[in-house]
A and B are shown apart, each in its own frame.
Chain A
Amino acid sequence: MGAIFKRELRSYFTSPSGYIFLGLFLLLSGIYFSFGVILSRSSDFSAFLDSVRFIFLIIVPILTMKLMSEETRQKTDQLLYTSPVGIGNIVLGKFLAAFVLFLAAFAVILCYSIVIIVFGDFKVWESIGASLGFILIGGCFIAVGVFISTMTESQTVSAIATFAVLLLFWILEPLKSGLPQDQTSGIVFACILAALAVYALFTATKDRLVAGISGIVLVAAIALTAIFMPAGYSGFIAAVLGWFSLLKRQQSFSLGLLRLDDTVYYVSFIFVFLFLSVRFIEKRRWM
């Protein structure tokens, strides 16, 4: 893992991508800091971080687009997958390289807080909380980017798809309020999810029997809950989408609250996407 981490981190600086990432990150955050903090005479560091979050949409794809896709395209993945290093370590090494570069850029942003400390009223705990939240959400987006880059050989496709998925995370919150809240649509949505799960199981195992039985079990479970506790299905769609609402959980961080469940949520989000990347690579080798 060490070798892959080092090589990947180095390659950010032997290709333009690392410089583009750092340049854009620092330029955009600098603009935001100048206008949102200095010129508007605000001393709220956490509000600054909240507003600067949108640049993830642009910089995370730059950071992650080449991670796995370039290996596949150049066939250097043959070297990695035939070396005595597990795929989990390969993916982790790549994720950490991107994450460390992101942390380095964030360390520069942290220096901005000196301006507030000297000239304004610096709220220590809110700023620490917001910084942690910023780092964790960055890690989540990078993990999503890593996963998407395992799915394609093309850096361009990888970047655009990552951008689209991150955008989806962004509009999830406003989208939720517009979704139907009634029980029927909740039940229909549950059935769609069950169908997707059965399909995923079938493609993974190629076993009609297993997929069929689990499909029947799922449908029975939905039918039973729909009959006995139909109230559970009102607002079901919004609840499910709420699991993916990364941004909503930022609020408590920005208030200076370090809630365990939110932290665990972000860390497990990262691990789920890294795990999916590993599974996806292994599955492709079985095809």
Chain B
Amino acid sequence: MITVEHLTKEYGKRKAVDDIGFTIPDGEIVGFLGPNGAGKTTTMNIITGYISATSGSVVIDGLDILENPEEVKRKIGYLPEQPPLYGDMTVDEYLGFVAELRGIPKKERSGARDEAMELVAVADVRTRLIKNLSKGYRQRIGLAQALIAKPRILILDEPTVGLDPKQIAEIRDLISKIGKERTVILSSHILPEVSAVCHRVMIIDRGRIIADGKPEMISSGLEGRNRVSVRVACAKSAEAKTLLEGIAGIETVTDSGSIEDGSFDFVVEAKPEADVRKDIFFALSKASLPLLGMRVVDLTLEEVFLRLTTREGEEA
């Protein structure tokens, strides 16, 4: 259980983190979502005890990070944005060093090291110097380092940066697997990544939490919008547009030009509760306008931000 209250971090006059507060129960996977410089890393650095907050408190399982730093740090595994690796060590040596640093008893060290290497699949490079390894390997060794002492809480700052798509999928699976027994906080600026793994998402912007909830809620329901992109084969765009505008439940139709010859693309926005895809299909087929493609458009992170921040502005 992680309880963060009124956390504020000031760098001079600039507030990197501005009165953040939340509670994370055991076993939850939480994603911090936000643009670069929003305060995600600073928040993580404070929770892990790397830096101190200007004010506010972090309490983990009833222990305050400032009062019992060593006990709290024992519970946390941390993968910072840049994995803290020593280039002049081999993977074996490095993980052995971390195991000792984290206070794993001597007898269990090599077992813990092998297990961590197995989990992130880096055993094939165990005897190589870290400075000669690729970014993907380094990221995974960083993850092994965070996992090695089997901490109850894992904090991962942008865990999939620099990985190829296959590795990203593997890391996501790994996080979901680990998250079954542990609390995981991860940060990202990629919306689909967060919605794929996390039970809960907090959107952070300019040092403040501007939204907190389930990922589905963030990507669609939060906005009260429902958008579909369609491609229709027709001679004139106006013809299809009027037809689409006539369907019940559709609010706006935006012409987004022509990509394929002899067809036009439209973005259709409907009322939140209405699923207009069937209606579009039947309406077009009735008018003998072939439907070439249709897909639901998720909001991009930029749009989520833009809407959240402008909505806040309206309230104020």
Nearest opposing residue in chain B for A70, CB measure: B86
Stretch touching chain B among A74-82, A122-130, A231-239? A74-82
- The reply to whether the CB of A23 lies closer than 8 angstroms to some CB of chain B is no
- The reply to whether the CB of A11 lies closer than 8 angstroms to some CB of chain B is yes
Could you mark each residue 46-86 of chain B with 1 if its beta carbon is under 8 Å from any beta carbon of chain A, else 0? 00111110000000000000000111011010101010111
> Are B48's CB and A82's CB within 8 A?
yes
The CB with the most chain A CB atoms within 10 A, among B52, B80, B101, is that of: B101
Nearest opposing residue in chain B for A4, CB measure: B101
Q: Which B residues lie within 8 Å of A74 (CB)?
A: 84-87
> Are A76's CB and B85's CB within 8 A?
yes
- Tell me the count of chain B residues lying within 8 A, CB to CB, of chain A: 30
User: In whole Å, how far is A112's beta carbon from the nearest beta carbon of chain B?
Assistant: 32
Within 87-102 of B, Cβ neighbours of A (below 8 Å) are at: 87-89, 93, 97-98, 100-102
> Are A82's CB and B101's CB within 8 A?
no
> Are B52's CB and A285's CB within 8 A?
yes
> Are B70's CB and A86's CB within 8 A?
yes
Q: Which B residues lie within 8 Å of A115 (CB)?
A: none
- The reply to whether the CB of A40 lies closer than 8 angstroms to some CB of chain B is no
Nearest opposing residue in chain B for A13, CB measure: B88
Query: Complex Cα distance A82/B82, Å?
Result: 14
Query: Complex Cα distance A82/B80, Å?
Result: 10
Query: How many contacting A-B pairs (Cβ < 8 A)?
Result: 68
Query: Complex Cα distance A3/B88, Å?
Result: 16
Q: Which A residues lie within 8 Å of B89 (CB)?
A: 7, 11, 14
> Are A7's CB and B73's CB within 8 A?
no
> Are B86's CB and A81's CB within 8 A?
no
Q: Which B residues lie within 8 Å of A287 (CB)?
A: 11
- The reply to whether the CB of A2 lies closer than 8 angstroms to some CB of chain B is yes
Query: Complex Cα distance A77/B101, Å?
Result: 13
Chain A at the B interface: mostly helix, strand, loop or mixed?
Answer: helix
> Are A84's CB and B70's CB within 8 A?
yes
Q: Which B residues lie within 8 Å of A82 (CB)?
A: 48-50, 73, 76, 78
Chain A: number of interface residues, binned into ranges: 20 to 34
> Are B74's CB and A84's CB within 8 A?
yes
- The reply to whether the CB of A286 lies closer than 8 angstroms to some CB of chain B is yes
- The reply to whether the CB of A177 lies closer than 8 angstroms to some CB of chain B is no
Query: Complex Cα distance A119/B82, Å?
Result: 59
Which single member of A10, A15, A78, A84 contacts B103 (CB below 8 Å)? Answer: A84
Nearest opposing residue in chain B for A81, CB measure: B50
> Are B88's CB and A83's CB within 8 A?
no
Q: Which A residues lie within 8 Å of B86 (CB)?
A: 7, 11, 74, 76
- The reply to whether the CB of B145 lies closer than 8 angstroms to some CB of chain A is yes
- From known contacts A14-B88, A84-B74, infer whether A79 and B98 are also in contact, taking CB-CB under 8 Å: yes
Q: Which A residues lie within 8 Å of B45 (CB)?
A: 78
Q: Which B residues lie within 8 Å of A81 (CB)?
A: 49-50
> Are B74's CB and A3's CB within 8 A?
no
> Are B100's CB and A2's CB within 8 A?
yes
Query: Complex Cα distance A10/B84, Å?
Result: 18
Query: Complex Cα distance A66/B119, Å?
Result: 33
> Are A78's CB and B84's CB within 8 A?
yes
Q: Which B residues lie within 8 Å of A79 (CB)?
A: 80, 84, 98, 101, 145
Q: Which A residues lie within 8 Å of B82 (CB)?
A: 75
Could you mark each residue 83-127 of chain A with 1 if its beta carbon is under 8 Å from any beta carbon of chain B, else 0? 111100000000000000000000000000000000000000000
The CB with the most chain B CB atoms within 10 A, among A4, A77, A86, A285, is that of: A285
Query: Complex Cα distance A81/B45, Å?
Result: 10
Nearest opposing residue in chain B for A87, CB measure: B69
Q: Which B residues lie within 8 Å of A11 (CB)?
A: 86, 88-89
User: In whole Å, how far is B201's beta carbon from the nearest beta carbon of chain A?
Assistant: 24
> Are B101's CB and A80's CB within 8 A?
yes
Q: Which A residues lie within 8 Å of B52 (CB)?
A: 285-286
Could you mark each residue 1-35 of chain A with 1 if its beta carbon is under 8 Å from any beta carbon of chain B, else 0? 01110110011001100000000000000000000
> Are A15's CB and B76's CB within 8 A?
no
Query: Complex Cα distance A82/B77, Å?
Result: 8
Which 9 interchain pairs have the tightest Cβ spacing?
A79-B84, A3-B100, A76-B84, A84-B74, A14-B88, A84-B70, A84-B73, A82-B48, A3-B101
- The 23 listed contacts between A and B (C-beta, < 8 Å) are A3-B97, A3-B101, A6-B97, A11-B88, A15-B88, A74-B84, A74-B86, A74-B87, A75-B82, A76-B85, A77-B84, A78-B50, A78-B78, A78-B84, A80-B101, A83-B73, A84-B70, A84-B73, A84-B74, A85-B103, A86-B69, A86-B70, A285-B50
Binding site for B on A (CB under 8 A): 2-4, 6-7, 10-11, 14-15, 74-86, 285-287
A sample of 14 more A-B contacts (CB under 8 A), given A7-B86, A78-B45, A83-B101, is A3-B100, A7-B97, A74-B85, A75-B80, A76-B86, A78-B80, A79-B101, A82-B50, A82-B76, A84-B71, A84-B103, A86-B69, A86-B70, A286-B52
